[in-house]
Structure 1
Amino acid sequence: MDFSHSAKAADYLRRVGDFIRTEIEPVEAEYHRVLFETTRDRDAAWVVPPVLAELKAKARAQGLWNLFLPDEEFGGAGLSNVEYAPLAELMGRSSFAPVVFNCNAPDTGNAEVLVKYGSAEQQERWLGPLLRGEIRSAFCMTEPDVASSDATNMVATAVVDGDEIVLNGRKWWSTGVGHPDCSFVIFMGLTDPEAHRYQRHSMVLVPMDAEGVKVERMLSVFGHRDEPFGHGEVSFTDVRLPLSAVIAGPGRGFEIAQGRLGPGRIHHCMRSIGLAERALELACERASSRVAFGKPLANLGGNRERIARARIAINQARLLVLHTAWLLDTQGLAGARSEVSQIKVAVPNMALEVIDMAIQLHGAAGLSADFPLADAYAGARSLRLADGPDEVHLNLVARFELAKYLSENNR
């Protein structure tokens, strides 16, 4: 593969990098201050700092919008996975930069689903406003009462009843349902328990204001609630919707889920690399400026070696992700299944190690809100569970490796 950027990607890299440095980084402290002030009351409704709308308007005016979407017909930038990956890394340096460019999860994955599988009606009602940044969305798949690492365990139901689909069940860790602009969710439920195990489930577009939908509570990660997006537990009680709300028709939920996850994991991993880069920068600044026992921290206790190993680990992870992105572009998900699982394990673990090292160099300050490291650690740690835990992906990688040696019955 060619490691040079295309002219188009290089132009976007320059423009996105400039925007982050000149527009986003200078207001990060103010953004988080407003969030803190408005969410101190844990029962108060969440609000979005006004500066975010201003930044989104500037980004859109400069053509830095929906960069994740390869489909130019829908207003995307027309970038391949390899071209978009370094942009995702840049955005990962800031907790809200992806939102500024309308490239934040789970909206990106939901938009990709609607582009690929949505009907004209679904695209007009939900995709258009989502791509214009007028609304937000969530994805409801994980359930509290079953081991969701095996998605076939799902007990929430999406049952066809005449010309309607009826939803019942409880979902949690539905990222984005706390946002004031969250207008719909994609719900995955069991439709036909007698069908093939990968044809039993359906995905349904559910308005947040539909009768029977209730956000039961917001969940925290190590005490962080990820305002103004959040991760919620949502109940669905006899939610009745027209069959036209089903994406691509009943029974196609697993097919859609697989198509959704490949590019999304590239995005997650590259943002995590950007997060690790920023943590390493903070670690180096601290190690160079802080003095203990008469020496800079960089010259104490093996810190130089820790910094060197962090640099090596980040570079290794980036190359693995870019190779996976290249495989997705050239061979599709079928040719990159093992690699997609490899990056899903390798990158969050790498980011955790780098962030932990940076926290250690900052001492107690690294645990506080004075630096972004505690939030970064919580986010990176959650990725070892989101979109499948490490163990599931390791098993898949091993299965591909052992397939070269074992008979089909022993894989």
Structure 2
Amino acid sequence: MNFEYSDKVKELQEKLTLFMDEVVYPNEAVYERQLNEGVSRWDEPPIMKEMQAKAKAAGLWNLFLPDSEYGAGLTNVEYAPLCEIMGRSMIGPAVFNCSAPDTGNMEVLVRYGTEEQKEKWLLPLLNGEIRSCFSMTEPGVASSDATNMEATIERDGDEYVINGRKWWSSGAGDSRCKIAIVMGITNPEGPKHERHGQILVPLDTPGVNNVRQLPVFGYDHAPHGHSEIEFNQVRVPVSNIIWGEGKGFAIAQGRLGPGRIHHCMRLIGAAERALEIMCSRVQERVAFGKPLAEQGVIQEWIAESRMDIEQARLLTLKAAYMMDTVGNKVARKEISMIKVVAPNMALRVLDRAIQSLGGAGVSDDFPLAAAWAKSRTLRFADGPDEVHRSAIAKMELRSQAKTQEKKQVMS
């Protein structure tokens, strides 16, 4: 595995880093101020549109899409260092139209959407004109087992009728969010993983009720938000089904592979920024007669953080390399491993940084507390640690059994 970046990627790294320094970081406080001063916290602050226009003009737009017809045509390995840079800021990914869940929804439409669906929904998403959400998780069941899903998508002539309640539909709070991809049961009597489908539901359709916004450790994440949505006898055309009935799990697997590793890439960026803040702060602050940077425990935290980040980055790159070379299915163990490793790594690094800053670390003067809250959710978003660990163990046991069989045959 050769992880040396191409000249194209190195150039994009330089452009992104400069853009973050000159445009994104200086406007983080402006973004928050405009968000709080606006008519509604669910409307996009004007500064975001300004930054997005600059990102488009700089050629730093839709970098996540490997499909060169619509995106930058980068492999997962090539995108990794770029996604990491964007992930250093809570608002960074949105500036470049590379934020979840829009990235995953756009990939679904590129892979499985009809030409009509692409024209109506993909192109506006690619242009940053609208936002979208993904409605999969449900409040009434243990969603770590997605087969528990109760929402239904039933055919009735030329329409599908959707009924059910979803929550943690991230992005649905945004006033620009116009479309949801909803997953529900289409074939209740079918095989276990062929019972579900995914369908496009415009949020202004009668029967769609955005019940409430769900805070994360007190953060509402406006204007993005996380909605609980009720679908009550919602009718949409048959043409809104994606790929076909019973294809919901196949679509989800195609969507969640890249989505999971993108989260990990962004988490590495968040951890890098936390370490950077910690190193700067501990050199400025003096306690017990010497700078904090000279205290043994602080040095240990810095060393542990650097080692944690490097290990997570290498595993992320290995998973990305395998996705590029042998496909998401073969790389599923590596994807599961990094999905467990990266959030836990980021939380450790962020916690050390917060501890080293003291009271400042839990304030809004620094991005650490907000980054910690967001990172903590990623220990169960796209599958909780426990489910991924179980999957990793089962794959490892099968691999070890095959190895033992080969040894017995050879002996």
Shared fold by TM > 0.5?
A: yes
Partner of 1:33: 33
How far residue 14 of structure 1 moved from its aligned partner, in angstroms, is 1.2
Q: Say whether residues 1:181 and 2:195 are aligned partners.
A: no
Deviation at 1:38, TM superposition (A): 3.8
Q: Choose from 64, 72, 78 the match for 2:68.
A: 72
The offset of 1:24, in angstroms, is: 1.0
Aligned to 1:260: 255
CA separation in 2, counterparts of 1:10 and 1:358? 29
Q: Quote the residue 2:101 is aligned against.
A: 106
Contact 2:351–2:372 under 8 Å retained in 1: yes
Q: Please give the per-residue CA displacement for 1:381-404, whole angstroms capped at 9, x wherever unaligned.
A: 000010010000000100111113
Matching of residues 272-311 of structure 1 within 5 Å: 272-300=267-295, 302-311=297-306
SS in 2 for 1:403: helix
What SS does structure 1 have at the residue aligned with 2:15? helix
Task: Name the SS of the counterpart of 1:115 in structure 2.
Answer: helix
Equivalent residues of 2:3, 2:77 under 8 A apart: no
Question: How far apart are the structure 2 equivalents of 1:45 and 1:161?
Answer: 38
The residue that corresponds to 2:408 in the other structure is none
Q: TM-score, normalised by structure 2?
A: 0.96
Distance in structure 2 (CA, Å) of the matches to 1:237 and 1:122: 23
C-alpha separation in 2, matches of 1:194 and 1:115: 29
**Which amino acid is the alignment partner of residue 16 of structure 1?**
L
1:13 corresponds to? 13
- Corresponding letter in the other structure for 1:174: S
**Match of 1:135?**
130
Letter in 2 for 1:214: N
Aligned partner of 1:354 in structure 2 is: 349
Deviations for 1:307-361, whole angstroms, at most 9, x for unmatched residues? 1010000000000000100000000012101000000000000000000001101
What are the ranges of 5 or more consecutive residues in structure 2 without an aligned counterpart? 403-411
1:50 is aligned to 2:46: yes
1:60 aligns with one of 56, 60, 63:
56
| CA deviation profile, 1:205-248 (whole Å, cap 9, x unmatched) | 00010000011000001000111101010000000111100001
Measured after TM superposition, the shift of residue 48 of structure 1 is 1.5
Secondary structure of the 1:72 match is coil
Give distance in 2, aligned partners of 1:217 and 1:340: 32
Q: Which moved more, 1:14-23 or 1:141-150?
A: 14-23
Q: Judging changes above 3 Å, is the alpha-carbon distance between structure 1 residues 283 and 196 closer, same or farther for their aligned structure 2 residues?
A: same
Q: 1:377 matched to which residue of 2?
A: 372
Following the alignment from structure 2 to structure 1, what is the Cα–Cα distance between the partners of residues 33 and 323?
40
- CA deviations on 1:140-194 (whole Å, 9 max, x unpaired) are 0000000000000000111111221110000000100011100100000011111
Superposition map of 1:114-133 within 5 A: 114-133=109-128
1:61 alignment partner AA: A
In the alignment, which of 61, 80, 86 is matched to residue 85 of structure 1? Answer: 80
Which residue does the alignment assign to 1:240?
Answer: 235
2:317 matches 1:322: yes
* Structure 1 residue 406, shift from structure 2 partner: 5.1
**Root-mean-square deviation (Å):** 1.2
Aligned partners of 1:326, 1:378: CA distance in 2, in Å?
29
1:200 is matched by which residue type in structure 2? R
For residue 27 of structure 1, report the CA deviation from its aligned partner.
1.3
SS, match of residue 338 in structure 1:
helix
Tell me the SS of whatever aligns to 1:143. coil
**Structure 1 pair 266–358 and aligned structure 2 pair: CA distance change class (3 A):** same
TM-score (structure 1 length as normaliser) = 0.96
Cα distance in 2 between the residues matched to 1:280 and 1:235: 41
Deviation at 1:53, TM superposition (A): 0.3
Asked if structure 1 preserves the Cα contact closer than 8 Å seen for 2:41 and 2:222, the reply is: no
Amino acid at match of 1:369: D
Count of paired positions: 402
Name 1:222's counterpart in structure 2: 217
- Partner in structure 2 of residue 170 of structure 1: 165
SS of residue paired to 2:300: helix
Matched, 1:208 2:203: yes
- Partner amino acid for 2:352? M
